[in-house]
Amino acid sequence: MNKRENIEQLSINFDLYTGKSSDLHSIKRMLSDMERLYYDNKAFRKEVESNDIIVYEYYILEIPATPENLLYGTTILYPGKVGNEYFMNKGHFHQILNTSEVYYCLRGEGYLLMEDPEGEVLIAKINPGTSVYVPPRFAHRCINVSKNEPLISFYSCRADAGHDYKTIEIKGFRKLIIEERGKPKIINNPNWE
Amino acid sequence: MNKRENIEQLSINFDLYTGKSSDLHSIKRMLSDMERLYYDNKAFRKEVESNDIIVYEYYILEIPATPENLLYGTTILYPGKVGNEYFMNKGHFHQILNTSEVYYCLRGEGYLLMEDPEGEVLIAKINPGTSVYVPPRFAHRCINVSKNEPLISFYSCRADAGHDYKTIEIKGFRKLIIEERGKPKIINNPNWE
């Protein structure tokens, strides 16, 4: 069989239960990397100082950033809260705004929160087996509402899409998902600029 | 929560174990749809006449065929053989040849067979949790080598990629995967044109 070296690069394992790859290193985001993203900054400071844990990790492949290639991998978002706001990832627009993304949930329970620059908001509930389409132009963020299980998804997008984290770091999302009486509730972000 | 109608379109369930969607109809391919694709035409004729069963099914979403959108869904390839050649799907090039595809295997055991127009061949073994990258310009076909389990994968590609089935229907793939002494073996396709 020819091209063994290529075959190994083309095949990458992402465990269906843990989301982890034995072939790659993940990018890890600690709570302290999430400065300004949770609405309750007092609760955030307290958490970071007492227990700066990992909030999520994800895999990014080294694939040339061209429109004919695709990026893909898993994201693993751990359960937890900052005050009454559920753990989430930073979320981002694509640098090439007019590109899309697909999520396919492997495990856990949560939401995919999306909004476009004009303020249209889309919110999709995700469970194992749910695919969610992030339409072109929509920023996207995962929120884990489970008490004890990670939220694990496989994702794919165009390799040249790029990440614009800055807009969200500055403005935030228009909506937040908090826990109220033990259940997820969608509220307006009081800090949205 | 706004945009309920959009949210439902954006979220589609594909069962992680069966690969099936309760939200969509699948496209089904019977053995009789596979004319000329198995190398042993005598065995093929006999099978079709005695037992024209379903070989595979897959989902295609209605998404505008533009470079900013993505297609995605599951493919379910059933176990079986025609003579000593394992069940496979037709396989295709993309009409926009210079586009790629990602497969993420949810269940089963098989191979992803790829070749480009110049004759470079890539063969990746797939098991649950294996992602395989089909590079731009490579035709691709799944082969199920399990005796009793379907081979189920989630796939994603650019929505404008398009399907060129004709080239494979006429020429075939350069390689085939057959069973020899109970094990998969890769051979040259004797009918390749």
Environment class of residue B154 by beta-carbon count within 10 Å: exposed (0-12), middle (13-18) or buried (19+)?
A: buried
Q: How confident is the model at residue B3 (pLDDT cuts 50, 70, 90)?
A: very low
Nearest CA in chain B to A125: B11
3-state SS, residue B179: strand
Which pLDDT does position A8 carry in this prediction?
53
Q: What DSSP line would sit under chain A, residue for residue?
A: ---HHHHHHHEEE--TTT---SSSPPEEEEGGGGTTTSS-HHHHHHHHHH---EEEEE-------STT-EEEEEEEE---EETTEEPB---BEESSSS--EEEEEEE--EEEEEE-TT--EEEEEE-TTEEEEE-TT-EEEEEE--SS--EEEEEEEETT--EE-HHHHHH--SEEEEEETTEEEEEE-TT--
Whether the pLDDT of residue B15 is over 60: the answer is: yes
- Residue A112 dihedral angles phi and psi, to the nearest 5°: -110, 120
Residues B27-78 have pLDDT tens digits of 999 999 999 999 999 999 999 999 999 999 999 998 999 999 999 999 999 9
Residue A48: pLDDT over 70: yes
Report the sign of the C-alpha dihedral through residues A6, A11, A13, A19, in that order: positive
pLDDT score recorded for residue B193: 81
pLDDT at position B62 is: 87
- Residue of A3, A6, A7, A10 to mutate, testing the B interface (most B Cβ within 10 Å of its Cβ): A10
A70 pLDDT above the threshold of 60: yes
Across the interface, whether the CB atoms of A69 and B157 are under 8 A apart is answered no
Query: What pLDDT, in 10s, does the model give residues A9-28?
Result: 799 999 999 999 998 999 99
Does residue A122 belong to the interface with chain B, where contact is any CB pair within 8 Å? yes
Residue B189 pLDDT: 96
The pLDDT assigned to A9 comes to 75
pLDDT at residue A78 in the model: 98
Q: Which helix (H) or strand (E) holds B193?
A: none
Q: Which of A156, A160, A175, A177 to mutate to test the interface with B (most CBs of B within 10 A)?
A: A156
**What is the average pLDDT score of chain A?**
94
Q: What is the mean pLDDT of residues A154-165?
A: 97
pLDDT band at A193 (very low <50, low <70, confident <90, very high): confident
Percentage of chain A modeled with pLDDT above 70: 96
From A86's Cα to the closest Cα of chain B, the distance in A is 18
Chain B: give the shortest CA distance to residue A6, in Å: 8
Pairs across A and B, CB distance < 8 A: 129
Q: Which helix (H) or strand (E) holds B18?
A: none
Identity of the residue in B7, B63, B158 whose CB atom sits nearest the CB atom of A158 = B158
CA–CA separation, B181 and B179 (whole Å): 7
Whether residue B4 is predicted with pLDDT greater than 90 in this model: the reply is no
Average pLDDT over residues B20-32: 96
Q: Does A97 touch chain B (CB under 8 A)?
A: no
Predicted-complex ipTM score: 0.94
Q: Which residue has the tokens 């497969």?
A: B103
Please check the confidence at residue A7 and state whether its pLDDT lies above 60: no
**Which amino acid is residue A42, in one-letter code?**
K
For residue B9, what pLDDT is reported?
Answer: 75
Query: Among partner residues B72, B98, B122, which is closest to A3 by beta-carbon distance?
Result: B122
pLDDT in tens, B110-157: 999 999 999 999 999 999 999 999 999 999 999 999 999 999 999 999
pTM recorded for the entire structure: 0.95
Q: What is the pLDDT of residues A107-118, one digit of tens each?
A: 999 999 999 999
The pLDDT value recorded for residue A64 is 92
